[in-house]
Amino acid sequence: MISSFLSGFKKFFNDREYFSLVIKFTFPIALQNLVMASLNMVANLMIGQLGGTPVAAVGLANQILFLLNLVVFGVVSGAAMFMAQLWGKRDVNNIKRVVGLTIKLSLLAAVFFWLVAVIFPKGVMSLYSNDLAVIEQGSQYLRIIAWGYGFLAITASFSVALRSIGNVRLPLVVSTSALVINILLSYILIFGWNSIGLDPLGIRGAAYAVVTTRALECLAILILVYRDKTSPVAVSMQELFRFDLRFLRATMKPILPVIANEILWSLGITTYNSIYGHIGTDGVAAINIVASIDQIAFVFFMGLGTATAIMVGNAIGQGDREKAYIYSARSIIIQAAGGILMGFLVYSFAGNIFQFYKVAPPVIIDARNILTVLSLGMWIRATNHVLIIGMLRSGGDTRFSLFLDGFVIWLVGVPITAAGAFILGWPIHLVYALTFSEEITKTILGLWRFFSKKWIHDLTARVTEISS
């Protein structure tokens, strides 16, 4: 019986095409995510030399950037459903129309969050902390970094569009270059440069470095995209500003649940951070230190999730529903197994980085405990990522994805976590552990949906009918 199971298991994974595509897409995307996560970790390490309060201030101020990131991600990942399936049919005309819509919606979100950050910085910070020093320093950081939001929106739109048509190298090159620039600028502006008379700017220097890097990154990707005028994502000004109500209705029906999903989920995550902030500044600092490790550890899973979305979307666009189902199944198994291995590695080695932070001993103790919880739950989060991003969204099942990712966090995760913090009075690492109640619920419901096969939808008919 065991030999029969092993034989079937081996046969299930004996697919050169699948693994060829996984290697082609996953590793460049994972490397790009690693570059961005490394950027965040290096910046966090530099700020960590200034003390626990600056670490907490920057971490909480970046909650607005986090919200923007997820709204933009909702827009671009929703659009990516169409682009991946349209690329399966090589429908370049409609791909450009979707790219144009993506840029407009992403910029609209960027302008909204820019206004909030520039006009109400202290009001925003007070939502996350009662510490006056954290609010003041975070407000200074927030006012500056907000000027990079528009650049981020444009870069994200083109990066996801390029990935959807299989061009994963160009975004990688741009992001890697941005990492190098950001590290150099951050070091110079945070700590100063005596030989040229530049005084240390602290966390304001970190914000200036990020904005400059975002601007250069955006300029680079625009130049590289439009250098090749035949590129399927090189939209003209006419296509960018074109407004077609029928096309908008056809595309926004499945995209709107994705945007709502990201808004609800991101608000849930910021609510978690607000809960941590009201437990204490040391706890927030510990959470943010571990978050930078989490980002590094999760890059492969983000890569495989996005790669799966591309492969599944292309398969559905080609009309091969069974291939889409099998590709998803393989990725779910690989993601779960990889999460178990990564959790072990994080538990065994990641704590060594704590020695580089100049923070109080209680912060390090909290960070070590939080890291243990993260290690145990890594495989659950990894599985959910491929279920939601790689399977449900690429399959066009955005309404169920909205329920699973947008509502479960509010129905399960937030109430249980708040109860642990404010009713039971648990320490920060146990409160953090309660957030995994949401993840466990999503895994159970997500796997049920996967086996039902009800998540597979061909979205291309929506736009091709309008074009014909």
> Who's near 165: CB < 8 A, 6+ residues apart?
83, 87, 95, 232, 233
pLDDT category at 280 given cuts 50, 70, 90 is: confident
Burial of 128 (0-12, 13-18, 19+ CB in 10 A): buried
The pLDDT of 35-58, averaged and rounded, is: 74
Percentage of residues in the chain with pLDDT exceeding 90? 26
Burial of 179 (0-12, 13-18, 19+ CB in 10 A): buried
* Contact predicate 318/337, CB 8 Å: no
Q: Name the average pLDDT for the chain.
A: 84
Domain count, the chain: 1
pLDDT category at 80 given cuts 50, 70, 90 is: confident
Q: 408 in a domain, yes or no? A: yes
Residue 198 sits at φ, ψ, to 5 deg, of: -95, 115
pLDDT category at 447 given cuts 50, 70, 90 is: very high
Q: 374 in a domain, yes or no? A: yes
pLDDT category at 7 given cuts 50, 70, 90 is: low
Q: Which residues lie across from 198 on neighbouring strands?
A: 193
pLDDT of the residue at 409: 94
Q: 18 in a domain, yes or no? A: yes
Q: How far apart are CA 213 and CA 403, in angstroms?
A: 36
pLDDT in tens, 224-278: 888 877 778 878 777 777 777 777 777 777 778 888 888 888 889 889 988 988 8
Does residue 4 register a pLDDT over 60?
no
pLDDT in tens, 425-443: 899 999 999 999 999 999 9
Does residue 82 register a pLDDT over 80?
no
Please name the helix (run of DSSP H) or strand (run of DSSP E) that holds residue 138, with its range, or none: helix 132-145
Regarding predicted confidence, which is higher, 438 or 457?
438
* Contact predicate 400/392, CB 8 Å: yes
* Contact predicate 154/218, CB 8 Å: yes
pLDDT of the residue at 48: 72
Q: What is the DSSP letter of 214?
A: H
Regarding predicted confidence, which is higher, 169 or 48?
169
What's this model's pTM, rounded to 2 decimal places?
Answer: 0.75
Does residue 375 register a pLDDT over 80?
yes
Residues in the chain: 468
The pLDDT of 394-410, averaged and rounded, is: 90
The pLDDT of 344-365, averaged and rounded, is: 82
Does residue 5 register a pLDDT over 60?
no
Does residue 217 register a pLDDT over 80?
yes
pLDDT of the residue at 72: 85
* Contact predicate 457/84, CB 8 Å: no
Regarding predicted confidence, which is higher, 51 or 318?
318
Q: Could you write out the DSSP letters of every residue in 353-408? A: GGGG----HHHHHHHHHHHHHHHHHHHHHHHHHIIIIIIIITTT-HHHHIIIIIIH
Which residue range(s) make up the domain with 267? 2-462
The pLDDT of 414-427, averaged and rounded, is: 93
The pLDDT of 382-392, averaged and rounded, is: 92
Count of C-beta atoms within a 10 Å radius of residue 301: 28
pLDDT of the residue at 10: 64
Q: 468 in a domain, yes or no? A: no
Q: 322 in a domain, yes or no? A: yes
Q: 109 in a domain, yes or no? A: yes
Percentage of residues in the chain with pLDDT exceeding 70? 94
Longest dimension (CA), the chain: 75
pLDDT in tens, 137-196: 888 888 998 999 999 999 988 888 888 777 878 888 888 888 788 888 888 888 877 666
Lowest mean pLDDT of 117-131, 299-313, 337-351, 420-434, name the range.
117-131
Q: 467 in a domain, yes or no? A: no
pLDDT in tens, 292-321: 788 888 888 988 988 898 889 888 888 888
Count of C-beta atoms within a 10 Å radius of residue 327: 25
Q: How far apart are CA 313 and CA 127, in angstroms?
A: 39
The pLDDT of 420-424, averaged and rounded, is: 91
* Contact predicate 81/396, CB 8 Å: yes
Q: Which two tokens stand for residue 38?
A: 């490394």
Q: How far apart are CA 122 and CA 4, in angstroms?
A: 63
pLDDT of the residue at 1: 55
The pLDDT of 198-221, averaged and rounded, is: 87
Residue type, 344: F
Straight-line distance from the first to the last Cα atom of the chain, in angstroms, rounded to the nearest whole number: 54
pLDDT of the residue at 384: 95
